[in-house]
């Protein structure tokens, strides 16, 4: 097994320089840092992050903290977000790990903070006043939220600009002549971003509640004529349910887009491309968003002190016309 001394010898530096590259405790020249990282990669050296932390270093580790990830079947979006964060973090010479926590139990969060295992935390699946955000904030831990929610104070985040995304989708549907639009959503009520986005348009939004799985989407297709007879277009906030919906439409005699138009705003492009009926979308570049999130987290860690001015990014996405939208049937 390679040692720190082996890395130092191969890179032509001292062991302390290797330690500083791994811990980020002192600035190291870019050429030297690259030489050390190349030696680490060639030798397969595995740093002891716990030992570095105990020695007072700042671990070059980013933790993705999430709860309830495996209680429901994950969509491809979950995988794209994780892969993107891993890539963004790795490009900056750091490493990443998933730290699952139990719902309502702070012991896992406490264990992470007290171990000094991680240089920074990316919070996933956040909720309003998320207790994890408050715990990390109170203890001065670097963290970033992927998504946005009201936690009671300013914080770093990367998210989609949902209001603009929804407004662009509604503009496309209304330009085609649709005024009765079904909103395929996993929520029991229309969210505030959608309400605000729809206010300039003369449209009627009908909430079509569904679980985000293929089976539930199929059930919606079978009942939509009976339950929502006036709806001529679907704006979908789900990915898996949308795939089930369009797959079943043909079975129940619904032609897309002749009978019913559809646009997706929360699905990956390969999902929309490979669906039984190709689906027009406001592109959701989940991997690229998460990659940027990972890079931003590393920048925050490298900055050292807790910054008073918080960092944020909002992404929209371009319109991808795949022919699933037409004028309403006469």
Q: What is the dihedral of CA 109, 114, 120, 124, to 10 degrees?
A: 0
Rounded to two decimals, what is the model's pTM? 0.80
Q: Which of 301, 312, 251 is nearest to 276 (CA)?
A: 251
What pLDDT was estimated at residue 302? 85
**pLDDT tens digit string along 38-92?**
888 788 775 554 444 444 455 688 999 987 666 566 678 888 999 999 999 998 8
What pLDDT was estimated at residue 311? 93
Q: Write the CATH number of the domain with boundaries 162-284.
A: 3.40.50.2300
Helix pair angle (15-23, 30-43), 10° resolution: 100
Give percent above pLDDT 70 in the chain.
91
The answer to whether 297 touches 118, Cβ cutoff 8 Å, is no
5-19, 170-184, 263-277, 307-321: segment of lowest average pLDDT: 5-19
How many CB atoms lie under 10 A from the CB of residue 126? 21
Which tokens sit at 183? 């909103």
Which tokens sit at 304? 């050292």
Q: Say if 4-47 and 61-160+286-315 have the same CATH topology.
A: no
Sequence ranges of the domains in the chain: 4-47, 61-160+286-315, 162-284
Looking at domain 4-47, its CATH superfamily turns out to be: lambda repressor-like DNA-binding domains (1.10.260.40)
What pLDDT was estimated at residue 25? 59
Q: Write the CATH number of the domain with boundaries 61-160+286-315.
A: 3.40.50.2300
């Amino acid at each position: 097994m390679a040692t720190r001394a082996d890395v130092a010898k191969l890179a032509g530096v001292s062991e302390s320089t290797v330690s500083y590259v791994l811990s980020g405790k002192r600035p190291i020249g870019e050429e030297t840092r690259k030489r050390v990282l190349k030696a680490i990669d060639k030798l397969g050296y595995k740093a002891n992050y716990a030992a570095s932390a105990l020695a007072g270093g700042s671990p070059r580790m980013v933790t993705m903290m999430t709860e309830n990830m495996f209680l429901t079947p994950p969509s491809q979006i979950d995988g794209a977000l994780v892969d993107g964060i891993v890539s963004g973090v790795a490009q900056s010479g750091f490493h990443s790990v998933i730290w699952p926590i139990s719902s309502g139990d702070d012991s896992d969060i406490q264990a992470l903070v007290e171990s000094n295992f991680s240089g920074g935390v990316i919070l996933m699946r956040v909720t309003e006043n998320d207790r994890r955000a408050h715990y990390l904030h109170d203890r001065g831990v670097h963290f970033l939220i992927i998504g946005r929610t009201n936690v009671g104070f300013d914080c770093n985040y990367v998210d989609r600009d949902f209001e603009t995304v929804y407004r662009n989708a509604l503009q496309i549907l209304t330009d085609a002549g649709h005024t009765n639009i079904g909103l395929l959503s996993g929520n029991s009520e229309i969210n505030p971003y959608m309400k605000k986005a729809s206010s300039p348009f003369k449209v009627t939004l009908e909430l079509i509640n569904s679980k985000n799985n293929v089976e539930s989407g199929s059930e919606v297709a079978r009942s939509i004529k009976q339950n929502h007879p006036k709806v001529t277009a679907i704006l979908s906030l789900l990915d898996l349910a949308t795939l089930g919906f369009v797959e079943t439409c043909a079975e129940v005699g619904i032609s897309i887009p002749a009978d019913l138009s559809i646009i997706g705003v929360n699905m990956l492009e390969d999902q929309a491309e490979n669906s039984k009926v190709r689906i027009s979308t406001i592109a959701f570049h989940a991997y690229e968003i998460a990659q940027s999130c990972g890079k931003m987290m590393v920048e925050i860690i490298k900055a050292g002190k807790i910054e008073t001015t918080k960092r944020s990014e909002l992404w929209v996405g371009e319109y991808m016309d795949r022919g699933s939208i037409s004028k309403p049937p006469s």
